[in-house]
Structure 1
């Protein structure tokens, strides 16, 4: 249950502004507190629409349209939805056919844009990096394109995603079951101007973070490509899975009590495994014998304060793939430490369905700042127990399309699938030379250091904005409205 803060209670003037509306939602969103604080600022405030430029004035989403998806990258463009835009690794986006994409050229996102989810969960945001050019977005993503002659894009993004921007944006949501906002709802949002020095510093931090995230993405892709190319398995980098004959009418001999499910013997996946067996390799079970190859621990969730001193941030399968997971905080005192993951553990989403765009079967890599997060039992945990094969090297292998297809083929269960760990232990892992393994390991580790650095820079940008607001209102930074 959300309650009003005693430091900033709902005031009679707020009720009058809302026509004496007595339901709690408008007053608990933080929008009124943010608006009142912005009114106290001693600096100029410009309407958002005066600071944007481009299609429809620079604030737009798009019409509803029929989506035609394709499998061939030459026949389509990567397509971003309101959840996809939160993801850290954009390698596996669905492809929207050129025929449809060409009708809506303005839906191609541009570096420096701020993306805002405008249908369903309102107010989630992402900053478009240089490497995201060439991606189209859905009508459920609102685009805000800064006018470079009026404002720096990084500063505008920081304000919009701040404790002041988000509550005001979300307060305009309408609808019963599915919430929406439209461009005209936020056109008058007041954006404070703190002068070139402050705004440029904030912008530079956001741009540096965007560049680091682009390098993070390219580092992951390079490591995987390096591993398969060095192992002379280049053809597994471009599987064209759906172009291969369907897995029907095949026979399988040598069955064991381990499994009788046809999916576990599908020819397309078996051909990948056979290719991996042709090169020097170790079995995953042998690599993880003194490490870990098991599901996470089950535990009772006891909610805790949003404070890393006393609580863990609990990350589930969906948000594990985001740049900055949101979510539940659970009490450290009531939660076993086994919910944490040791450094360089691979977590594979191990419960779900076989839909092409589902996360089931996809891996994440736990290192750096993410070692402080708790993870649900729905992940298969893979941790190397041999010094010759690092967790980073394993991750470069597991994030490939080839391993995604293999992991899907090891499914067990009914509607909700799970991964058969006994079959998983038999996966052959290419074993390159020590020098090759070291090079690939360092590429992955460097990429994740850049990801953590990007997070820090984005947080520094928000801190600079908070200090600027505090300085021009006389409110101490600790007394500012709680972040949304």
Structure 2
């Protein structure tokens, strides 16, 4: 229980709200700090688009991106790949609303229904996507208030708490545009704000470049082996097929032997692939299922769940007690590991993977994440990632082994039995380097964003009156 004595003036300044949240979160104190230095009201710095939420519409989903646009929801905007789990909204629905559903350059995205206060900044790749009704998009007059600078401020300890102080609703929290019109933004001069703005915009560009490199690596694998971009438009499309009784002695579930699974097998076989991952010295490491004891950063190691590894910003939110990690260091993630989500609903994150760049080095991941590690120099880890995680054929090879009706999971034996198509050493190295460069850009993007946020926080603390 949190107990706090507050002044009656605070109640007035909070709009006579008597729920505890705004008063115990520190929002009132932070707001006083911002009001004590030079600032502008957000509402005075918006352009003609202002603060907008997509109108409610009937959601009609389609197969194939040629029939619609990716629609981003609360979770999607935080993901590095954006479209990894996004639905495709029918173009017929989109066309009814002119440009009301589209993102615009410089948009700051704030989740406002369900999960409130998560933030994302516009990326050029969003220009051909549409927005769900679960977040607001803020468009500033760039001359009056650079959008990148505003985004950095909103991500500070001050900006984030003040932003969400007017959140309402106990079952489904919400935050409406009119509740943040009086949101005050500290000002520190054009030179400083432009520097912050440029860091945020460069970070956005680097994330798109990184994502593009991952896609290009996958396309090179597809082109080399004549793999189609997609084997199926949905994850468990109804189909029929015949299979020899010899192949059902170990597995009898239909999706392991269906047409799509057989097609992926045939395509891999046509490449002349001879060795499976186990024979190539690939290790599959799973974390121990143990009581998870969380502690402060000084006494723990960064911990990521199977959902968190896919975020654009993979800053750890929790730290697992180092002393509880007994035995060898199987739990420890290394740079260049492949992190595969091994459980979840088919069509979700299960079977999808993340390249462990420098941000993951030494971290601990949930038992729901499987680590694939190259131990043989004859296999390039980046090339392995490109095949398994950047092509649909590789994904189908992984996902076909999902077992379980309630929460499907992937078994280590099925994954290590996957055969790896091979190219020349130079071609594999070239693709592997593309993957590594993509990882470096993703890490650099996060670093730039963190630096910008820290610079704004430091400026606020330096300008605030000393008591």
TM-score between both structures, scaled by the size of structure 1: 0.89
Structure 2 residue aligned with 1:459, among 415, 427, 450? 450
What is the aligned counterpart of 2:89 among 83, 92, 96? 96
Counterpart of 1:81 (choices 70, 73, 98) is 73
CA displacement, residues 174-215 of structure 1 (integer Å, 9 cap, x when unaligned): 112110111111111011111101101101111111111111
Q: CA deviation at 1:149?
A: 2.6
Q: How many residues align?
A: 461
Is the aligned partner of 1:364 residue 2:360? no
**Distance in 1 of aligned mates of 2:91 and 2:29:** 46
CA distance in 2 between partners of 1:339 and 1:10 (Å): 46
Instruction: Note the alpha carbon deviations across 1:52-108, whole angstroms, 9 max, x for none.
Output: 1133xx101122221111112111011100110000112433211101112232221
The match for 1:314 among 303, 326, 329 is 303
Distance across 2 between alignment mates of 1:252 and 1:15: 74
Offset from partner CA, 1:454-478 (integer Å, 9 cap, x none): 11111111121122212221459xx
State the distance in 2 between where 1:425 and 1:338 align. Answer: 17
Partner of 2:295: 304
Within 2, Cα distance between the matches of 1:143 and 1:318? 24
Cα 1:475/1:465, change in 2 over 3 Å: farther
Whether the aligned pair in 1 keeps the contact of 2:71 and 2:131 (CA below 8 Å) is yes
Distance in 2, Cα, partners of 1:72 & 1:475: 59
- Say if 1:335 and 1:210 are closer, same or farther in 2 by CA, change over 3 A: same
Q: Is the 8 A contact 1:393 1:440 kept in 2?
A: yes
Where does residue 295 of structure 1 map in the other structure? 286
Separation (CA, whole Å) in 2 of partners of 1:150 and 1:18: 27
2:405 equivalent to 1:409? no
Equivalent residue number for residue 320 of structure 2: 330
**Kept in 2: contact 1:111–1:128 (CA 8 A):** yes
In the other structure, the counterpart of 1:482 is none
Deviations along 1:140-179, one digit per CA (max 9) or x if unpaired, are 0110011123111111111122212211121111112110
Residue pair 1:285, 1:293 contacting (<8 A) in 2 also: no
2:414 corresponds to 1:418: no
CA distance in 2 between partners of 1:450 and 1:294 (Å): 26
Once the two structures are superposed, what CA deviation does each residue of 1:376-410 show, in whole Å capped at 9, x if it has no partner? 00112211222121221111111222222232211
**Matches of 1:389 and 1:345, distance apart in 2:** 13
How far apart, in 1, do the equivalents of 2:276 and 2:6 lie? 58
C-alpha spacing 1:392/1:352, structure 2 compared with 1 (3 Å): same
For 2:83 and 2:74, the matched residues in 1 are separated by: 16
Larger CA deviation: 378-387 vs 239-248 = 239-248
Structure 1, 426-435 or 339-348: larger mean CA deviation: 339-348
Q: Distance in 1 between matches of 2:324 and 2:146?
A: 45
**Aligned-partner Cα distance in 2 for 1:176–1:374:** 33
* Aligned CA distance change for structure 1 residues 244 and 293 (closer, same or farther; 3 Å): closer
Match of 1:378 in 2: 368
TM-score, length-scaled by structure 2: 0.92
CA contact (8 A) 2:388 2:398 kept: no
Cα distance, 1:11–1:298 mapped onto 2, change above 3 Å: farther
